[in-house]
Amino acid sequence: MSNDKKLAPETIAAQALGWIEPTTRAISPPIHVSSTYERDEDGQYRSGRNYSRTDNPSYDQPEAVLAALEGGKAALLFSSGMAAATTLFQTLKPGDHIIGPKVMYWSLRNWLVATAEKWGAGLDLVDMRDLSAVKAAIKPGRTKLIWAETPANPLWHVTDIAAAAEIAHAAGARFAVDSTAATPVLTKPLALGADIVMHSATKYLNGHSDVIAGALVTREADAFWEQIKLLRLQQGGVLGPFEAWLLLRGMRTLYPRVRMAVANAQFLAEKLAGNSRLEEVLYPGLPDFSGHAVAARQMHGGFGGMLSIRVKGGEAAAVRLAAHVKVWKRATSLGGVESLMEHRASVEGPNSPIPKDLLRLSVGVEDRGDLLADLEQALQAN
């Protein structure tokens, strides 16, 4: 456990910071299922543990590994990505003002719109690709949190993290980034100036479509972070110990999984880009994509494992294409080792800004030839 600062993130992830269980020397940690801990005779808790809604020894490693990978001071696990994100927003007070992106993870957008109204918090959803729109939305003295998601679901809009963080800080606001799609493998929002990074750990961090989990990572272990910790304890959106263990196991292979998904996604985007049955291929790794230049600056080692395709012939043609795939699975979610395809507009409903001809593709780690052949036969059959 010495010298971790000098170790590469690949090593930190694979060895989970090199921790060994001290009593048995086990390399894989035990799962701590106890909900409660015995007091000392004088009533103290010298173990530092009292109840598993506060925290759990099974969180220690995954939280430390994630904080190390993001370059943060600390991380907190939550029962889902939504629990992580909504806990952060619950630090705000009535009258505070939030700026978020128009295109973002749909459930969180819906929660924000409904909750801001209920709380009397101001909310402006802007095109985060346009920094002048972000600036114009600032309400001096009231804007407390700017939220970005990059690349953003499911159009993969790219936000310039460093520039947006600067705007937020000049206004006295915090800047938080949903980095679920980018992962710490490709983007380090804290190093670019973000205050908080959020992950749906359900996705790439776990990577095997068998855990629902979320996380926040902070640049500073300050009073604001203590407030978030207290909210997790009070609201109880805590992760189960088995899920924390699975998440740590998943994170050990984060780097090879993400790198393979990224290489597959870049390959597929390039192969599909000229297809006459497609209207458009949306992927930050394509040179003519609107956010490509910013993505190339702030993403390292690739442009993510997520892309979207717009199918000629509208909604019916898109839904029909999804019906024809055999290797790809028609399912929601993303970031697992298996490739998934989803018609987003039917999931998001009538108020969605997402084109009806769009299919979202989460590219897995399968053989790229199999993935392409399946898409090509589905496009042919369409």
Report the SS3 class of residue 214. strand
How far from each other are the two terminal CA atoms of the chain, in whole angstroms? 55
Alpha-carbon distance of 114 to 76, in angstroms, equals: 25
Minimum gap (Å) between residue 113 Cβ and ligand PLP: 15
In angstroms, how far apart are the furthest CA atoms of the chain? Answer: 76
Give the bridge partners for 149, in sequence order. Answer: 178
Residue from 214, 284, 336, 355 touching ligand PLP (CB under 6 A): that is 214
The catalytic position among 96, 178, 195, 374 is 178
Locate 288 and state its tokens: 């003519």
Residue from 82, 171, 190, 363 touching ligand PLP (CB under 6 A): that is 82
Q: Does 361 bind ligand PLP (CB under 6 A)?
A: no
Residue from 180, 183, 266, 362 touching ligand PLP (CB under 6 A): that is 180
Q: Which stretch binds ligand PLP (CB under 6 A): 74-82, 116-124, 261-269, 290-298?
A: 74-82
Locate 147 and state its tokens: 């939220």
Compute the half-sphere exposure of residue 370: CA atoms within 13 Å on the CB side of its CA. 11
- Give the start-end residues of each E strand in the chain: 74-78, 97-101, 122-126, 143-149, 174-178, 196-200, 214-218, 278-282, 306-311, 329-330, 340-343, 358-362
Q: Does 308 bind ligand PLP (CB under 6 A)?
A: no
Q: Does 243 bind ligand PLP (CB under 6 A)?
A: no
Locate 129 and state its tokens: 């690709």
Alpha-carbon distance of 232 to 359, in angstroms, equals: 35
Minimum gap (Å) between residue 150 Cβ and ligand PLP: 10
Give the residue closest to ligand PLP by C-beta: 81
The alpha-carbon radius of gyration of the chain (Å, integer) is 21
Q: How many residues at the interface with ligand PLP, by CB under 6 A?
A: 16
Contact 37, 50 (CB under 8 A): yes
Q: Does 29 bind ligand PLP (CB under 6 A)?
A: no
The yes-or-no answer on residue 53 being catalytic is: yes
Residue from 55, 149, 195, 357 touching ligand PLP (CB under 6 A): that is 149
The yes-or-no answer on residue 105 being catalytic is: yes
Q: Does 108 bind ligand PLP (CB under 6 A)?
A: yes
Locate 30 and state its tokens: 């035990």
Q: Which is nearer to ligand PLP, 342 or 374 (CB)?
A: 342
Q: Which is nearer to ligand PLP, 52 or 362 (CB)?
A: 362
Residue from 56, 61, 80, 150 touching ligand PLP (CB under 6 A): that is 80
Residue from 116, 164, 212, 260 touching ligand PLP (CB under 6 A): that is 212
Among candidate residues 328, 323, 332, the one with its CA nearest the CA of residue 364:
328
3-state helix, strand, coil in the chain (%, to 5): 40, 15, 45
Minimum gap (Å) between residue 151 Cβ and ligand PLP: 9
Q: Which stretch binds ligand PLP (CB under 6 A): 79-87, 112-120, 162-170, 282-290?
A: 79-87
Q: Does 183 bind ligand PLP (CB under 6 A)?
A: no
List of residues contacting ligand PLP (CB under 6 A): 80-82, 105, 108, 149, 153, 178, 180-181, 200, 202-203, 212, 214, 334
Active site residues: 53, 105, 178, 203
